[in-house]
C-alpha cells in the first residue's frame, strides 16, 4: 500500500523491533559512517527513547529518503533482514510511478499474450534449413507425465536410462499420471503448489512441453490464474555476465521497450516463471544469504538474480515451473521445496503412432514407416524418447524420398546416429564436402573436450580455438544461439543433443589422426585406455560414449560413414576394447563361488550388440561361462541385447537373474486374466506366446546353438503368462538341466503350462525349483503326471506352497509310479545354512515340501511312497504340522525293507519325547538314514 511520505514506513519498521533490537539499532547507528556522512549524535540517540523520536531525528539529520537507506543498511547488519526487506519493498512502492489505468493494463496483458503466441507458434526442426518451419501444434504429441519422483541410486547416463525408468514407472505407477493442466491445481489438502518441477532425461521432451505450455497459456486455455508467464532458459543465463535486475529480465521477455513493470511486479502471486534446463546452470545456488537480493529492481549479477528467484528470496509469492534432468534434482532440492513434481516418461504406443502420422505429410508413408519401426523391437523401444523418435523419422523420411528400402535401416543405436549424420551431410554441396573430414575431426575434438569437462555449451572462443570457423558447414552439427553480454551480443554453440555430442566424442577416438587438426596443449588425448578406466571407476556418464565406440567398429555402418565423410575409421582399438571388456568383467566380480568367470553387467551385452561382429562377440564371451544379473527392469531393448549375446555365446552354462522384471512396453492386456478364458490349444499358440514379456529371452534359449545348463529366474515377477514360453524351452533345449523359479507368482495355471514342457520327450531337465510360486493342490495332478512320465527329473522343490494334504495325495500317485525317477522331494534350492539345521546338507537331491500346509493326513500316502519308490533318496518336510501321529506313519514306511531314503528333514517342534525316541530307534536300525531337524 502506497504511503504519503517515507517517514511513515520508516517509523513502522522501527516499531517492529523488540526493545533489545531497538537499542542495538541505535548503538549500530552511532558509528556506521554511512556514505562518509556524519553520524547521528550520541546525545540525540540517547534522547530517542522511542521509535517516533528516532524516526524524526533520522529524517532531520539524513533527509527522509536517505534515512530509509541508512535504516535498511543498519537492519541488515543486525540480522533483521525480514524488516529490512519489507522496508526496501515499501520504499520501492513510493518511489515508483503510479500504476497505469486499468484499461491500459488489460490492453498490455493482451499485447503480451499475442507476443507469446507469435514467438511460440512456430518451431524449427533440429536440422531445419533456412525457411523450414512447422507449427508447434502440428508437431506436438502428448507425453505421459507421472506425478512424483524417485532419486536414482546409481548415476547412470540419463538418455540410456530413460527406457528402463519409463518402463519401471509405467508398470508400478500407472495410476499416478497427471495432466499438464493439473500441475498447479490444489492437492488433497487443498494446498496449491507454488513450485512445480518437471523431470526428464535428455531428449525426453521437457523444452517442447514448456513451449507448449507457453503457447496454450497465451491462447487463454491454460493456467488462467496467471496474468504473465515468463520463459527463462538456464543455458542463456549461463552466458549473461553483465549486471541486471529481475525487472530487466522481465523486460527482455516483453514486446515493447517500456512495459508496465511496476504494475507487473505489483502482484507477484499472478506471475509464473518457467525455468527451463536447471541442470544446465553452471553456477551454484550455494550462496550466502547476504549475497542474495529481495528487491526486483536491484542490480545484481544474473546468477544472483536467478539464485534469489529459485530460493524464493526474490518474489517469494510467484510460482515457478522448473525443468531438470533427474541427476540435478538432489541439488535443486537442497535449496527449495519442490511442492509437486512430475516425470516425463515419453510416448506411449498410441502417441508414437500419432507422432509418425504428424511427422510425415504423406499419410501412407507415415503408416508404412510406423509399421516398419514397430516390427523392430529395439528401434521401437528407443522411440519412447521423442528425440529418438524424431531421429528415426528423419532418417526414414530421407530414405523414402531417395527410394531406398526401409528394411536396410540400421538397427543399432550407433547405426541410427550414423544414418542421421549421413542424412545431414547429403545437403552439402561438393565444394563444401572437400574439407569435411578436417571439420569433422575438429568437431570430434571439441565434443570429446566437452565430455571430459562436462560442458555442453561452447562460446565463440572455444569454437575459434578448435578452428571451427566454417560457417557454411558448422550449423549442420551445432546450434547457434545469440546472447546479450553487457552492451554487445555474443554467440554460443551446442550440439543438437547431448547424445549427439557423445557420438562425436566417441568418433574422436577412432578417426585416423593425420595431424590436420589443431593440437592445443590441453586437447583431450586419444587415450582409449584412459577413457575406459575412468568409465569403469567413476565416470558413469561415459557409458554412451563407450557404447558408441563399439558401434563405430560395426563394419557396415562404419563403411557408410567413411564413404559419406571421407574420414578413415581405424579398427586398431578393437583389441583394446576386447581386453577391457574381459578384464573389467573379470575383476569386478572375479569368479563366482563355483570358480567360473561370470559377466555381471548388462552393459557388456549392450556393447557387444553395438559392434555386431560375430567373431569379436564370440571371442569376448568365450572367456565367460555365465551371466549374473540383479535388480534390473528389463526393457525390450535390454532383452534384445541379452538375447543377442546368448545366441553368440560359445560356452554359456548358467544364466542367473534375481529380483529382475521383464516389462513389455505399452502392453495393455492382462495376460493372466486372459489365460483362464483360453483353451489349452490357444494357450500354446504363437500369437499368445509372443505377448509374453520374456518372449525374446526364451527365443534365444531355444536356439540350437545355446549351451545353457542352468536357468535361474528367481523373484523376477514372472506370472502364468510366462510359463507357456518356458515350456517351449523345456521341450526344445537339449542342454538345460536346472530351472529355478523361486518367488514368482506362477500359480496353478502357470505350472500346468510348465508341465506340458516337462512331459515332452525331448525335455532333459533334472532339477526344478518352484519355491513360493503360489501353488495349491489344483496343480498337483499335473505334477504327478510329470513324475510318472518324465525320465530325467531327479529333484523337485515345492516348498512354501499351500499344497495341503490333498495336493500331496495327488503327488504320491506319481511318486508311486514305476517310471518315476525322482530322488529328492523337499528342500531343493533353499539356503543350506538355516538356523536349526543339524545336518551338513550341501545340496538337496530330492523333493522338498517345506511349509506346504501338511498334516498327519498326508503321511499315510507318503509312507506308501517310501515303501514302494525305489529312487527317492531325500525328503524334506520341515515347517509342517505333522504331529506325532504323522511321524509315526512315516516311520512305518521308513522301516520297510524296500525304502531307500537316505535323508529326512522334519520340523523340530511339535513332537513328543516318545516320537523322538521312535526316530532315534529308527536311526539305530537304519544307520544309513540321516534324520535332521529344521524349523
pLDDT of residue 431: 64
Q: Is the pLDDT of residue 134 over 50?
A: yes
pLDDT top residue among 380 and 805: 805
- Taking CB atoms within 8 Å and a gap of at least 24, the contacts of 82-87 are 83/13, 83/16, 83/17, 84/13, 85/294, 85/295, 86/13, 86/16, 87/9, 87/10, 87/13
pLDDT top residue among 174 and 24: 24
Question: Which residues have CB under 8 Å from 743's CB, separation 6+?
Answer: 714, 715, 716, 771, 772, 773
Q: Which of 555-559, 583-587, 673-677, 755-759 has the highest mean pLDDT?
A: 755-759
Q: Are 684 and 756 in contact (CB under 8 A)?
A: yes
pLDDT tens, position by position, 64-99: 778 888 888 888 888 888 888 888 777 766 655 555
pLDDT top residue among 112 and 148: 112
Beta-ladder partners of 196: 321, 340
Distance from C-alpha of 573 to C-alpha of 692, rounded to nearest angstrom: 39
Q: Is the pLDDT of residue 478 over 50?
A: yes
- DSSP symbols for 693-749: TTHHHHHHHTSTT----EEEEETS---HHHHHHHHHHHHH-SS--EEE-TT---HHH
Strand 661-662, strand 633-634: pairing: parallel
- Taking CB atoms within 8 Å and a gap of at least 24, the contacts of 59-66 are 59/6, 59/7, 59/10, 62/34, 62/37, 64/5, 64/6, 64/7, 64/10, 65/6, 65/95, 66/35
pLDDT tens, position by position, 686-712: 555 666 788 889 999 999 989 999 999
Q: Is the pLDDT of residue 504 over 50?
A: yes
Q: Is the pLDDT of residue 233 over 80?
A: yes
- DSSP symbols for 325-389: -GGGHHHHHTTS---EEEEEEE--HHHHHHHHHHH-SSHHHHHHHHHHHHTSHHHHHHTTSHHHH
Q: Is the dihedral of CA 310, 315, 317, 323 positive or negative?
A: negative
Phi and psi at residue 515, to the nearest 5°: 80, 10
Q: Is the pLDDT of residue 928 over 70?
A: yes
pLDDT of residue 825: 86
Residue 381: CA count within 13 A, CB half-sphere? 26
Distance from C-alpha of 704 to C-alpha of 734, rounded to nearest angstrom: 8
Q: Are 492 and 552 in contact (CB under 8 A)?
A: no
pLDDT of residue 460: 75
pLDDT top residue among 93 and 155: 93
Place 423 in a pLDDT band, splitting at 50, 70 and 90.
low
Q: Which of 515, 522, 524 is nearest to 444 (CA)?
A: 524
Amino acid at each position: 500500500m502506497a504511503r504519503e511520505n517515507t517517514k511513515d514506513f520508516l517509523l513502522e519498521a522501527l516499531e517492529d523491533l523488540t526493545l533489545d533490537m531497538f537499542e542495538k539499532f541505535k548503538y549500530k547507528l552511532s558509528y556506521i559512517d554511512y556514505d562518509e556522512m556524519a553520524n547521528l549524535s550520541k546525545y540525540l540517540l540517547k534522547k530517542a527513547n522511542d521509535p517516533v523520536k528516532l524516526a524524526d531525528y533520522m529524517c532531520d539529520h539524513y533527509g527522509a529518503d536517505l534515512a530509509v537507506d541508512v535504516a535498511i543498511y543498519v537492519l541488515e547488519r543486525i540480522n533483521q533482514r525480514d524488516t529490512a526487506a519489507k522496508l526496501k519493498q515499501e520504499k520501492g512502492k513510493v518511489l515508483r510511478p503510479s500504476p497505469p489505468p486499468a484499461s491500459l493494463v488489460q490492453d498490455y496483458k493482451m499485447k503480451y499474450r499475442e507476443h507469446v503466441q507469435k514467438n511460440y507458434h512456430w518451431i524449427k526442426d533440429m536440422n531445419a534449413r533456412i525457411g523450414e518451419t512447422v507449427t508447434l501444434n502440428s508437431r506436438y504429441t502428448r507425453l505421459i507425465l507421472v506425478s512424483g519422483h524417485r532419486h536414482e541410486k546409481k548415476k547412470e547416463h540419463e538418455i540410456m536410462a530413460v527406457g528402463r525408468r519409463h518402463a519401471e514407472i509405467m508398470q508400478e505407477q500407472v495410476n499416478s499420471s497427471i495432466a499438464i493442466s493439473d500441475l498447479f491445481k490444489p492437492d488433497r489438502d487443498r494446498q496449491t503448489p507454488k513450485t512445480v518441477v518437471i523431470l526428464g532425461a535428455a531428449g525426453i521432451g521437457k523444452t517442447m512441453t514448456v513451449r507448449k505450455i507457453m503457447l496454450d497459456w497465451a491462447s487463454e486455455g491454460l493456467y488462467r490464474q496467471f496474468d504473465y508467464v515468463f520463459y527463462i532458459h538456464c543455458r542463456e543465463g549461463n552466458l549473461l555476465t553483465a549486471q541486471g535486475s529481475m525487472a530487466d529480465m522481465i523486460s527482455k521477455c516483453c514486446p515493447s521497450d517500456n512495459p508496465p513493470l511496476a504494475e507487473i511486479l505489483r502482484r507477484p502471486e499472478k506471475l509464473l516463471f518457467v525455468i527451463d534446463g536447471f541442470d544446465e546452470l553452471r553456477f551454484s545456488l550455494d550462496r550466502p544469504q547476504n549475497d542474495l537480493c529481495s528487491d526486483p529492481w536491484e542490480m545484481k549479477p544474473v546468477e544472483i538474480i536467478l539464485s534469489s528467484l529459485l530460493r524464493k528470496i526474490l518474489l517469494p509469492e510467484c510460482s515457478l515451473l522448473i525443468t531438470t534432468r533427474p541427476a540435478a534434482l538432489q541439488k535443486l532440492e537442497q535449496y527449495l521445496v519442490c511442492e509437486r513434481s512430475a516425470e516425463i516418461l515419453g510416448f506411449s504406443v498410441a502417441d508414437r503412432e500419432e507422432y509418425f502420422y504428424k511427422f510425415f505429410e504423406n499419410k501412407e508413408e507415415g503408416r508404412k514407416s510406423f509399421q516398419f519401426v514397430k516390427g523392430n523391437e529395439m528401434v521401437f523401444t528407443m522411440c519412447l524418447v521423442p528425440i529418438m523418435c524424431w531421429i528415426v523419422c528423419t532418417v526414414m523420411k530421407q530414405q523414402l524420398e531417395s527410394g531406398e528400402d526401409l528394411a536396410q535401416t540400421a538397427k543399432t543405436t550407433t547405426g541410427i546416429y550414423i544414418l542421421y549424420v549421413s542424412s545431414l551431410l547429403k545437403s552439402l554441396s561438393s565444394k563444401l564436402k572437400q574439407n569435411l573430414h578436417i571439420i569433422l575431426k575438429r568437431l570430434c575434438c571439441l565434443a570429446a573436450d566437452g565430455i571430459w569437462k562436462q560442458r555442453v555449451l561452447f562460446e565463440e572462443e572455444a569454437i575459434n580455438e578448435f578452428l571451427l570457423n566454417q560457417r557454411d558447414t558448422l550449423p549442420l552439427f551445432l546450434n547457434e544461439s545469440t546472447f546479450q553480454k553487457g552492451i554487445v551480443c555474443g554467440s554460443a554453440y551446442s550440439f543438437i543433443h547431448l547424445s549427439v555430442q557423445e557420438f562425436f566424442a566417441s568418433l574422436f577416438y577412432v578417426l585416423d589422426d593425420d595431424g590436420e587438426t589443431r593440437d592445443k596443449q590441453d586437447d583431450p588425448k586419444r587415450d582409449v585406455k584412459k577413457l575406459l578406466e575412468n568409465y569403469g571407476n567413476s565416470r558413469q556418464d561415459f557409458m554412451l560414449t563407450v557404447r558408441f565406440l563399439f558401434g563405430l567398429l560395426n563394419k557396415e555402418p562404419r563403411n557408410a560413414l567413411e564413404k559419406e565423410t571421407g574420414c578413415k575409421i581405424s579398427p586398431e582399438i578393437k583389441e583394446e576394447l576386447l581386453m577391457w571388456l574381459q578384464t573389467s568383467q573379470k575383476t569386478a566380480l572375479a569368479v563366482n563361488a563355483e570358480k567360473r568367470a561370470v559377466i555381471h553387467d548388462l552393459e557388456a551385452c549392450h556393447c557387444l550388440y553395438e559392434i555386431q561382429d560375430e567373431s569379436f562377440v564370440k571371442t569376448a564371451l568365450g572367456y565367460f561361462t555365465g551371466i549374473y544379473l540383479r535388480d534390473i527392469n528389463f526393457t525390450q531393448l535390454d532383452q534384445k541385447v541379452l538375447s543377442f549375446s546368448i545366441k553368440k555365446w560359445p560356452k554359456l552354462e548358467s544364466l542367473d537373474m534375481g529380483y529382475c522384471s521383464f516389462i513389455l512396453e505399452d502392453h495393455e492386456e492382462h495376460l493372466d486374466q486372459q489365460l483362464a478364458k483360453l483353451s489349452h490349444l490357444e494357450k500354446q499358440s504363437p500369437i499368445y506366446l509372443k505377448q509374453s514379456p520374456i518372449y525374446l529371452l526364451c527365443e534365444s534359449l531355444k536356439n540350437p546353438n545355446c549351451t545353457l545348463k542352468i536357468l535361474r529366474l528367481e523373484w523376477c515377477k514372472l506370472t502364468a503368462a510366462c510359463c507357456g514360453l518356458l515350456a517351449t524351452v523345456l521341450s526344445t533345449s537339449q542342454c538345460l538341466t536346472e530351472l529355478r523359479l523361486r518367488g514368482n507368482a506362477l500359480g496353478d495355471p502357470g505350472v500346468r503350462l510348465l508341465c506340458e514342457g516337462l512331459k515332452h520327450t525331448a525335455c532333459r531337465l533334472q532339477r526344478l525349483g518352484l519355491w513360493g510360486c503360489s501353488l495349491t493342490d489344483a496343480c498337483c495332478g499335473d505334477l504327478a503326471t510329470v513324475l510318472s512320465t518324465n525320465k530325467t527329473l531327479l529333484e523337485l522343490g515345492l516348498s512354501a506352497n499351500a499344497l495341503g494334504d490333498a495336493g500331496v495325495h495327488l503327488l504320491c500317485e506319481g511318486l508311486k509310479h514305476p517310471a518315476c525317477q525322482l530322488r529328492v522331494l523337499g528342500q531343493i534350492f533353499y539356503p543350506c545354512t538355516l538356523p536349526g539345521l543339524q545336518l551338513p546338507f550341501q545340496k538337496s537331491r530330492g523333493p522338498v515340501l517345506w511349509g506346504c500346509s501338511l498334516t498327519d493326513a498326508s503321511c499315510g500316502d507318503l509312507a506308501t511312497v517310501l515303501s514302494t519308490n525305489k529312487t527317492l533318496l531325500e525328503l524334506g518336510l520341515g515347517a509342517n504340522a505333522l504331529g506325532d501321529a504323522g511321524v509315526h506313519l512315516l516311520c512305518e514306511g521308513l522301516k520297510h525293507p524296500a525304502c531307500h531314503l537316505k535323508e529326512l528333514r522334519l520340523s523340530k517342534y511339535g513332537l513328543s519325547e516318545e516320537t523322538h525316541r521312535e526316530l532315534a530307534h529308527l536311526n539305530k536300525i537304519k544307520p544309513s538314514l540321516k534324520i535332521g531337524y529344521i524349523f
